[in-house]
Amino acid sequence: MNVPSAAAASLQPPLSRNGLPPGVHFIQRDWLSSNQVLLCDSDPQRWAQECAPDQAPHDYTLIDTSYVKHQHTTLALLRHQIGAGRLRRIINTHLHSDHCGGNALLSTTWDCEVLVPRASLEDVNRWDAVALSHAGTGQDCPPFRATGSLQPGDAFVAGGLEWQVHAAPGHDHKSLLFFAPAQGLLVSADALWENGFGILFPALEGESAFDEQDSVLDLIESLRPQRVLPGHGAMFTDVAKALATARSRLKAMRDKPERNARNALKALIKFKILDVEVMTIEHFLRDYARTSVNRAAARQLGQPAEVLLHQALLELHEAGQVRIEGDVFYNREVP
Ligand SMILES: [Zn+2]
């Protein structure tokens, strides 16, 4: 999908106090839900009015929609930002459950377009929960319909900026990232966070992913972004530092590939407990060990999934990241 945007590229709106153009809002969430980037699609001549609820209603584009557990919070946050305006388009960087769990609710609330990576379009529209990774990770995601797609080389206009669409394989080979050269803004999804990047899921299945992640980091460096809006965690401007951190983590994984598998087990446990909040250890080891992503990690590490998960759980408890009491465990924040 290519949208001409000569007007968008030629006008440079002033940056607001948080360093973002006035039509770009970054909504930081926790680690269960992806962050959202809300982009005001009003006429470029109206940028200076700043897109805000008390102004005239605007149309908006939203990049990524959170995990299903938080979908009503996401809706409330959007209503607050949008006011009497309208969400006209959802764009997903990729289809992991924490990035598209609000798609169904939001797209029916506003009857909006939903654009997904072209490589995932068929998986979405026949709702293949295995191909979309939701079955393999044991995570929930309500089905939704995609109305279109984006692929590397495309461009779209949103928030008064033209965004380039780039491939971001590694964490998810079908993932995209979006770059607005006029303001040096990068929506990096899970390809680059301030302090790392997402689990390299294909590597758990024995597929190539380290080289792909390496090339995505090179791509990001070549784009020379000034500010990164990541899929999780805070936005950041010290891109060189984030790239150095990511490269050193990637090198550690290459040197010891089982590190990716062990990190993945722990990250998936933390995600699970953020989702369900409390779980018996027996239930966890019996059911969760069966998910294909945990079985794949266990194959790589050469031990039964139950043993590895129990070990990872104890390590998380010792690190203060989950709490075990008797035969249950829960997120450490839950009393
Ligand atoms: Zn992801």
157-212 per-position pLDDT tens digit: 999 899 999 999 999 999 999 999 999 999 999 999 999 999 999 998 889 999 99
CA distance 81 to 73: 12
pLDDT at res. 43: 60
Q: How far is the CA of 171 from the centre of ligand 1 (A)?
A: 7
Q: How far is the CA of 49 from the centre of ligand 1 (A)?
A: 35
| Residue of 275, 253, 276 lying closest to 264 (CA atoms) | 253
pLDDT over 80 (residue 282):
yes
Q: How far is the CA of 190 from the centre of ligand 1 (A)?
A: 5
CA distance 266 to 204: 13
46-89 per-position pLDDT tens digit: 555 555 545 567 899 999 999 999 999 999 999 998 888 899 99
Residue range 133-144: mean pLDDT, rounded: 90
% of the chain exceeding 70 in pLDDT: 90
Structural domains in the chain, sorted by start: 6-252 (3.60.15.10), 258-331 (1.10.10)
Q: How far is the CA of 54 from the centre of ligand 1 (A)?
A: 34
Model-level pTM? 0.89
| C-beta atoms surrounding 68 within 10 Å | 24
User: What's CA 201's distance to the chain center, in Å?
Assistant: 14
pLDDT over 70 (residue 230):
yes
Q: How far is the CA of 34 from the centre of ligand 1 (A)?
A: 8
Helix 292-301, helix 258-276: angle, nearest 10: 150
